[in-house]
Chain A
Amino acid sequence: MRVAEDRELVARLRQGDRDALRQIYLKYKDDLLTIATCMLADRAGAEDCLHDLFVALASDSVRVRLDGNLKGYLITAVANRSRDRLRRRGRSQQTRDAPDQAMGEAVNAAADPAAAMIEREEADRLYRAIAALPAEQRAVITLRLHGELTFEEIARQLGVSNNTIRSRYRYGLEKLRSSLDVGVER
């Protein structure tokens, strides 16, 4: 059902339909921003990635061809842009902007401050732990768990072997678990 809807949205977008672009954005924006934020460990950079992706999508909307599903297309696009940005960025800056504040806007303090503060703290710890991973492991974990890509799809996208991807995933999770265990305070 979603695929059919997405195909119609893409068809309308190619015709220059403003509402189709708006609907596509509203449908996938949070998933895409989450992926970019996790991959980059940088909220501001992730926002720029999302911005550039949709401006480019609008510019080239006539040429958009959907071989697979729209979500996969957008995830691949935002992941590519995130990797390009990581490559451009100096290594010294790679973890400068730890995304521990990334969830700041996610918390609706007025709605339930008590529940929000606990969730916020846990999410912050997890984000900090993800941000501390090597970029390659962050990418695999993010594409697997947020992008819902298979290991084979991630391997194709990153241009490395399936076994390497699986190893990065496993090592990444082990590091995360280890750092989260150490960080527990009671």
Chain B
Amino acid sequence: MNPTDDLERRIRSLRVPTGDTLDQRILADALARLENRQSTTTPLDLLGSSVWRTMMRSNWTKLAAAVLLVAIAGTLMSLRQTASTAYALEQTLEANRGLRYVHLRFDGEGGELREAWAEFDEKGQLARLRMDFPKTEDGAKEVLWENGKAEVWLKTKGHAVVLHAKEEIAELVKELAPFDPKVVMEQLHQAEAKGKVEIETQEPSKEGDPITLVADYKDAPGKREIYRVNPVTKLVEQRKSYLLVDGEYKLMGLLEYLSYNEAVPEGTFVLDIPPDALRVDWTTQEVGLAKGDLTNEQIAVKVAREFFEALIAKDYNRAGKMFGGLPGARLEQAFGKMDFVRIVSIGEPTPHPDHRTRFLRVPCEVEIRMGEETRIQKFTPSIRANECQPDRWAIDGGI
């Protein structure tokens, strides 16, 4: 391979992935705009997209915001319940008020989310949530949220993270909000009230058969949704989304509410994580170093120095503590084949160009030996205050 080919290959291989935070910000704004195009008011619009973006850029408010979205949406729905001409639909709105538990499954909707379980308290606030993502960029992923603590089990990678409030988790929780049955049915109700959708109600021909709502969107010709409503509970059991293609309605997505308000099956809100899986728990261990009276720059330098000194001493537990709380064994597995000889230099920290990350990046030069080769290797640890332990700073964005 000539040098030009190799350089071109290296450039082609560069990738700047977006990350969950950016994905959610862009999708939230773009989908809200799409809804506006359709003149359908969503809970997101009611919150205001600029407010939403501001909220979601604040790390500490993200999880609360995501959970609140579901709750606020539900509150708004209740406040704005007005007389409706759609008998079955109005009953469904009423039935949703007592929602305590719902199990959802997605096919063709919900992005990477395929199955979710949500439990609400007596006030309608989200209390527990579990979401399964069988296929993501990180492989299979399961998320459990309860009492302000989230646990992510990356099944494919074989490691789990437990944390109080982390933006990625908050964004994941937000995935469910558009499919909350209260939100889904209120949106349909609003669209009908504004004349944007025409709903045909098909009463069951015999006892026990479901009620069927056929919704045709006037402002999106060819878009049809068919809702299956339980004749007794009046709760929606299924929504099928269709698109008219070449004169035929083609099924594009299926959203199923598999069970409502039943006793929560045992084990639903427990992730099946093998005991030998790599676990990082930010709620039970102190990570990094306490900042104390140091400036941000001083503590960042101190963490970087502590990390490399630990590697030089082959004290992998101490290095892991500096490296986001990873277990020492994991650090040894990664760095054990190298000899860290000495710290050559540690430069002035600089803020990450994306200020939202709050990282300080510390330029370091370290002499390392691998086999016969000795080299001066540059590292730039990304260091910031820990999400769950704000007075403690640690490497959190790679090195």
A69 at the B interface (CB under 8 A)? no
Across-interface contacts of A51 in B (CB, < 8 A):
22, 25-26, 29
Across-interface contacts of A122 in B (CB, < 8 A):
10
Give the interface residue-count category, chain A.
35 or more
Check B7 against A176 for contact (C-beta < 8 Å). Answer: yes
Quote the shortest CB–CB distance from B48 to chain A (angstroms).
15
A151 at the B interface (CB under 8 A)? no
With the chains together, A38 CA to B111 CA distance in Å? 28
Chain A, residue nearest B363 (CB)? A100
Contact partner, A104, options B23, B219, B220, B359, Cβ 8 Å = B359
A136 at the B interface (CB under 8 A)? no
With the chains together, A108 CA to B324 CA distance in Å? 12
How many residues of B are in contact with the other chain, CB < 8 A?
Answer: 76
Q: Quick one: given A113-B399, A121-B379, are A58 and B252 in contact (CB under 8 Å)? A: no
Which chain B residues numbered 113 to 140 have a C-beta less than 8 Å away from chain A? 138
A-binding segment of B30-38, B204-212, B281-289 = B30-38
Q: Quick one: given A34-B15, A121-B379, A176-B7, are A104 and B222 in contact (CB under 8 Å)? A: no
Chain A, residue nearest B395 (CB)? A109
Quote the shortest CB–CB distance from B77 to chain A (angstroms).
19
Per-position 1/0 for A90-117, Cβ under 8 A of B? 0000000111111111111111111011
Per-position 1/0 for A11-35, Cβ under 8 A of B? 1100111110110011001100110
With the chains together, A26 CA to B113 CA distance in Å? 13
Q: Quick one: given A18-B31, A101-B353, A121-B378, are A50 and B37 in contact (CB under 8 Å)? A: no
Check A30 against B15 for contact (C-beta < 8 Å). Answer: yes
Contact partner, A50, options B15, B18, B361, Cβ 8 Å = B18
With the chains together, A110 CA to B331 CA distance in Å? 9
Quote the shortest CB–CB distance from A14 to chain B (angstroms).
9
B263 at the A interface (CB under 8 A)? no
Check A104 against B334 for contact (C-beta < 8 Å). Answer: no
Check A110 against B245 for contact (C-beta < 8 Å). Answer: no
With the chains together, A180 CA to B111 CA distance in Å? 40
With the chains together, A130 CA to B112 CA distance in Å? 34
A70 at the B interface (CB under 8 A)? no
With the chains together, A57 CA to B33 CA distance in Å? 9
Quote the shortest CB–CB distance from A128 to chain B (angstroms).
11
Across-interface contacts of A47 in B (CB, < 8 A):
18, 22, 354
Q: Quick one: given A17-B223, A25-B30, A61-B37, are A105 and B397 in contact (CB under 8 Å)? A: yes
Across-interface contacts of B377 in A (CB, < 8 A):
121
- Interface SS of chain A: helix
Across-interface contacts of B35 in A (CB, < 8 A):
18
B390 at the A interface (CB under 8 A)? no
Across-interface contacts of A104 in B (CB, < 8 A):
352, 357, 359, 361, 382, 397-398
Check B3 against A117 for contact (C-beta < 8 Å). Answer: no
With the chains together, A43 CA to B356 CA distance in Å? 12
Contact partner, B335, options A22, A42, A113, Cβ 8 Å = A113
Check B398 against A117 for contact (C-beta < 8 Å). Answer: yes
Q: Quick one: given A25-B30, A54-B26, A59-B37, are A15 and B12 in contact (CB under 8 Å)? A: no
Which chain B residues numbered 247 to 302 have a C-beta less than 8 Å away from chain A? 252-253, 278, 280
Contact partner, A141, options B11, B357, B361, Cβ 8 Å = B11
Across-interface contacts of B36 in A (CB, < 8 A):
59
Per-position 1/0 for B315-334, Cβ under 8 A of A? 00000000110100011001
Per-position 1/0 for B153-183, Cβ under 8 A of A? 0000101010000000000000000100000
Check A109 against B220 for contact (C-beta < 8 Å). Answer: no
B8 at the A interface (CB under 8 A)? yes
Across-interface contacts of A116 in B (CB, < 8 A):
398
Q: Mark A residues whose CB is within 8 Å of B.
A: 8, 11-12, 15-19, 21-22, 25-26, 29-30, 33-34, 37-38, 42-44, 46-47, 50-51, 54-55, 57-59, 61-62, 97-114, 116-117, 120-124, 126-127, 130, 141, 145-146, 173, 176-177, 180, 185-186
- Ordered by A's residue number, 27 sampled pairs between the chains whose C-beta atoms are within 8 Å are A11-B243, A12-B252, A15-B222, A16-B217, A16-B220, A17-B223, A17-B241, A29-B18, A33-B16, A33-B17, A37-B16, A38-B16, A47-B354, A54-B26, A57-B30, A101-B352, A103-B14, A106-B17, A110-B278, A110-B330, A113-B331, A121-B378, A121-B379, A124-B380, A126-B11, A173-B7, A186-B375
Instruction: Contacts A59-B33, A104-B359 known; list 20 others, CB within 8 Å.
Output: A11-B243, A17-B243, A22-B31, A22-B111, A34-B16, A38-B14, A43-B353, A47-B22, A51-B29, A54-B29, A58-B34, A101-B361, A101-B382, A104-B352, A108-B138, A109-B323, A113-B335, A116-B398, A121-B378, A122-B10
